[in-house]
């Protein structure tokens, strides 16, 4: 039944973008100086998961590159590449085409990017709030012609740990705020992806609307449920998706999303997850102590709390509650029995 599974992947870029015209306009406005050969405005996209931030950022760059074919461009997932040198290495390779040795120093990487960038360029910094060394934003600001699109869940969390030098550089520029999708928009996104990935007539509007209601404004969740329902229908030998399979597909979709999220965890977050998997719920101090035993290069408790504990919680791998004035961390109910790495 699934003819093109790529349309259900997170990195699929649809054309056109559904339900985000005003957001697209804001980001393309920020990038528009590049069309005249000037540096673009820095731009930050804020909002919860699954609301189209990365899709809009990538689509805006796509539109720019249709107008100016040779605009240098790079994409950095700061959740996975969260150190200063990791970001600069990606810029050296993707932005200016430099082959850099793993041992290259920070100053050498900056020099290579500055030398190779001969006009305006743009970098998408996805999950920018996960940067361990936020001073790299200052580095980027000092590279002539380079602008960025930063993507994060919350502006307050992003700015909290920036020193004054960096904050002064990021305090100006565009702010584009995303809220959750409405059910009608998610249903339309699902309908279009179904036609593209499954074929026309595979599901009717009631199926899309039912999935949309269960998605809680998260298009990524809706698409994962649709794919799970299509797989269930195919396993039953059906040529269409009956509405009865929608709710049955939600647990499968949650496990699939958890598996993908787990695969993206950095080494600090993965150790935290594994402590909770192995030892059960923990108060913060106990969790930190066990983390320091298992991780070869542990960060401070404050940094772990503000950076590496927040992301698994945001993506519903880990939940918290307060008891007797203490914060308790544990695996979320959806994943307590079926750990993502085991599915």
Enter the DSSP assignment of 281. Answer: -
Please check whether residue 1 lies inside any domain of the structure.
Answer: no
Enter the DSSP assignment of 181. Answer: P
- Give me the tens of pLDDT residue by residue for the chain, a chain 343 residues long: 788 989 998 889 998 999 999 999 999 999 999 999 999 999 999 999 899 999 999 999 999 999 887 899 999 999 888 889 999 999 999 999 988 887 889 999 999 999 999 899 999 999 998 887 888 988 998 899 999 999 998 877 777 667 777 777 777 778 999 999 999 999 999 999 999 999 999 999 999 999 999 999 999 999 999 999 999 999 999 999 999 999 999 999 988 988 888 888 888 999 999 999 999 999 999 999 999 999 999 999 988 887 788 778 877 888 998 888 888 999 987 655 445 554 4
Return the structure tokens found at 84: 């200063």
Q: Provide the domain limits for residue 336.
A: 265-342
Name the residue with tokens 């699902």.
Answer: 190
Residues 234 and 214 in one domain: yes
Residues 54 and 200 in one domain: no
Please check whether residue 164 lies inside any domain of the structure.
Answer: yes
What is the structure's pLDDT at 153?
Answer: 86
What is the structure's pLDDT at 315?
Answer: 77
Q: Can you tell me the distance from the alpha carbon of 112 to that of 95, in angstroms, rounded to the nearest whole number?
A: 10
The residue among 214, 236, 261 that closes a domain is 261
Please check whether residue 3 lies inside any domain of the structure.
Answer: no
Q: Which residues in 249-299 belong to E strands, given as ranges?
A: 282-283
Q: Which long-range contacts (CB under 8 A, 24 or more apart) does 225-231 make?
A: 225/249, 225/250, 225/253, 226/8, 226/190, 226/193, 226/194, 227/2, 227/5, 227/8, 227/197, 227/253, 227/256, 228/252, 228/253, 228/256, 229/203, 230/1, 230/2, 230/198, 230/202, 230/203, 231/1, 231/2
Residues 109 and 238 in one domain: no
Q: Can you tell me the distance from the alpha carbon of 62 to that of 28, in angstroms, rounded to the nearest whole number?
A: 10
Name the residue with tokens 């190779």.
Answer: 116
Residues 219 and 269 in one domain: no
What's the total number of domains in the chain?
A: 3
Name the residue with tokens 């039953």.
Answer: 236
């Amino acid at each position: 039944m699934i003819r093109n599974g790529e349309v259900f992947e997170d990195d699929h870029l649809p054309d056109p973008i559904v339900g985000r015209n005003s957001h697209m306009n804001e980001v393309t406005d920020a990038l528009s100086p590049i069309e005249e050969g000037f540096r673009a405005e820095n731009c930050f996209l804020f909002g919860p998961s699954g609301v189209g931030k990365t899709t809009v950022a990538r689509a805006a760059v796509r539109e720019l590159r249709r107008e100016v074919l040779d605009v240098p461009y790079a994409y950095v997932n700061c959740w996975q590449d969260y150190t200063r040198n990791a970001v600069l290495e990606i810029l050296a390779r993707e932005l200016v085409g430099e082959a850099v040795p793993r041992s290259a120093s920070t100053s050498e990487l900056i020099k290579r990017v500055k030398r190779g960038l001969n006009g305006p360029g743009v970098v998408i910094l996805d999950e920018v709030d996960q940067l361990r060394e936020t001073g790299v934003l200052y580095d980027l600001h000092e590279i002539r012609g380079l602008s960025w699109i930063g993507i994060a869940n919350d502006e307050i969390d992003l700015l909290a740990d920036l020193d004054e030098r960096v904050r002064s550089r990021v305090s100006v520029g565009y702010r584009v705020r995303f809220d959750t999708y409405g059910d009608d928009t998610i249903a339309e996104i699902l309908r279009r992806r179904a036609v593209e990935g499954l074929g026309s007539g595979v599901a009717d509007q009631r199926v899309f609307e039912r999935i949309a209601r269960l998605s809680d404004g998260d298009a990524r969740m809706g698409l994962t449920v649709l794919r799970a329902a299509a797989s269930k229908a195919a396993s039953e030998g059906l040529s269409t998706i009956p509405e009865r399979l929608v709710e049955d597909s939600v647990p499968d979709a949650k496990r699939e999303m958890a598996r993908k999220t787990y695969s993206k965890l950095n080494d600090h977050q993965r150790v935290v997850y594994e402590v909770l998997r192995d030892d059960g719920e923990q108060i913060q101090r106990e969790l930190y102590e066990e983390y320091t035993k298992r991780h070869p290069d542990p960060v401070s408790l404050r940094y772990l709390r503000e950076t590496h504990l927040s992301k698994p919680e945001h993506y519903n791998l880990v939940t918290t509650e307060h008891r007797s004035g203490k914060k308790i961390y544990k695996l979320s109910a959806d994943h307590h029995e079926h750990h993502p790495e085991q599915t």
